[in-house]
């Protein structure tokens, strides 16, 4: 099986031993505590689940600035985005102590992890602006990722952590949430050798379904892991439970048994375009995938990134051999009325725009809200039904 990033063995930070974890939970109640941001809590979940291997905790200021600048930590580890614990104030905390980290996303703010607090530092306004430009390619406050980053505070808490639970992801998405450790175990038990991963934060329409099929066929994959983001999204995006239901229905009906795993991970979307795409590749290598599908405007939002910037970054900014996972580069996929099938548009040079079934997101939402199913060349009817029910429920 493919090695994790940065080590020969996956090192999740979740305290697996039940007795040890219970003891640590009890001890943590007596410790100084800090309420995390949603992003900080999601980082803890990803560290606990092994997706951030080989990191041992939150980055300090020097590592964060270095990663933002050149995608390497001070020690030389390749890493595409800072992994931070940012807070408004740490006046009640002391470097060198052990602290409890509280979850903002669960009622009662339970402790999600404990940290050996090595350093308390701060970013300047200039440094926050620089990181925004380097990671998100903009410091526009209208960019949802930039807005989320700048809302967390400027005080940096860094040090190794031990994770005590997986926040709401394990309880709310028990059938779907999987750690990198669990996905590796499932891949191994399935006997898969070549595995292609597909990232989604949206429901999957026919073009996405066919893209997975195309990738599997071309690389000779034994299976596909559909890996959906379960964390916080921007306003207007479809909730995770609705996406989950629609994807499960699609796989159940239209894929052969035991060819697709439906999984999810607990992370808040960054909308950081190319940088986040590289981070997504790290996740997939850590969970055991050998190949990762990257299409147009992967992890993008609005018009902040070029259509294929998320692919070209692997040529320009990712050093050779920095990652073991291979990238499957995809163009926009759509149904061709000439060929009567879904194709990658770049592979249909004799086509005009009108030869493809293309619908804008706005048009699809309008149709679904009005109880009108998109054409079968765009969306499976069973998927459309689930989405229509959702949109009509929020209109009431």
Annotated active-site positions, please?
Answer: 201-202
Pairing mode of beta strands 195-200, 291-294: parallel
Secondary structure, 3-state, the chain: CCCCCCCCCCCCCECCCHHHHHHHHHHHCCCCEEECCHHHHHHHHHHHHCCCCCCCEECCHHHHHHHHHHCECCCCCECCCCCCCEECCCCCCCCCCEEEEECCCCCCCCEEEEEECCEEEECCHHHHHHHHHHHHCCCCCCCHHHHHHHCCCCEEEEEEEEECCCCCHHHHCCCCECCHHHHHHHHHHHCCCCEEEEEECCCCCHHHHHHHHHHHHHHCCCEEEEEEECCCCCCCCCCHHHHHHHHHHHHHHHCCCCCEEEEEECCCCCCCHHHHHHHHHHHHHHCCCCEEEECCCCCCCCCCCCCCHHHHHHHHCCCCCCCCCEEEECCCEEEECCCCEEEEHHHCCCCCHHHEECCCHHHHHHHHHCCCCCCCCCCCHHHHHHHHHHHHHHHC
CA distance 136 to 118: 28
Question: What sign does the CA torsion over 15, 17, 20, 23 have?
Answer: positive
Closest CA to 164 of 113, 117, 116, 108: 113
CA distance 98 to 117: 6
- Asked whether 286 and 10 are in contact (CB, 8 A), the reply is yes
The neighbour count for residue 119, using CB atoms within 10 Å, is 14
Phi and psi at residue 226, in whole multiples of 5°?
-85, 120
């Amino acid at each position: 099986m493919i090695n994790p990033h940065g080590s020969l063995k996956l090192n999740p930070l979740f305290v697996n031993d039940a007795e040890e974890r219970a003891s640590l939970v009890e001890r943590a109640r007596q410790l100084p505590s800090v309420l995390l941001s949603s992003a900080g809590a999601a980082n803890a979940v990803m560290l606990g689940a092994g997706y951030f291997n080989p990191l041992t905790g939150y980055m300090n200021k020097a590592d964060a600035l270095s990663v933002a600048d050149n995608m390497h930590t001070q020690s030389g580890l390749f890493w595409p985005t800072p992994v931070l614990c940012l807070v408004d104030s740490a006046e009640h905390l002391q470097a060198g102590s052990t602290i409890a980290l509280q979850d903002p996303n669960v009622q009662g703010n339970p402790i999600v992890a404990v940290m050996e607090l090595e350093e308390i530092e701060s970013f300047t306004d200039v440094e926050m602006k620089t990181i925004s430009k380097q990671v998100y390619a903009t410091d526009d406050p209208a960019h949802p990722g930039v807005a989320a980053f700048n809302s967390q505070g400027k005080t940096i808490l860094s040090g190794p952590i031990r994770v005590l639970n997986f926040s709401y992801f394990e309880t709310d998405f028990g059938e779907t949430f999987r750690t990198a450790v669990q996905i590796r175990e499932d891949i191994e038990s399935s006997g898969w050798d070549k595995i292609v991963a597909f990232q989604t934060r949206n429901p999957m329409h026919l073009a996405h379904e066919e893209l997975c099929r195309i990738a599997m066929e071309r690389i000779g994959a034994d299976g596909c892991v559909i890996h959906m983001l379960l964390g916080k999204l921007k306003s207007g995006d479809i909730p995770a439970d609705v996406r989950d239901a629609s994807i499960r229905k699609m796989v159940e009906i239209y894929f052969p048994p035991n060819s697709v795993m439906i999984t999810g991970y607990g992370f808040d979307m960054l909308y950081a375009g190319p940088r986040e795409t590289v981070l997504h590749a790290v996740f997939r290598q850590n969970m055991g995938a050998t190949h990762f599908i990257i299409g147009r405007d992967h992890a993008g939002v609005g018009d902040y990134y070029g259509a294929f910037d998320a692919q070209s970054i692997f040529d320009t900014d990712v050093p050779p051999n920095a990652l073991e996972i291979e990238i499957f580069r995809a163009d926009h996929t759509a149904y061709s009325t000439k060929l009567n099938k879904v194709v990658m548009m770049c592979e249909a040079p004799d086509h005009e725009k009108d030869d493809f079934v293309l619908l804008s997101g706005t048009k699809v939402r309008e149709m679904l809200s009005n109880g009108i199913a998109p054409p079968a060349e765009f969306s499976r009817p069973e998927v459309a039904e689930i989405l229509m029910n959702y949109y009509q429920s929020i209109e009431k």
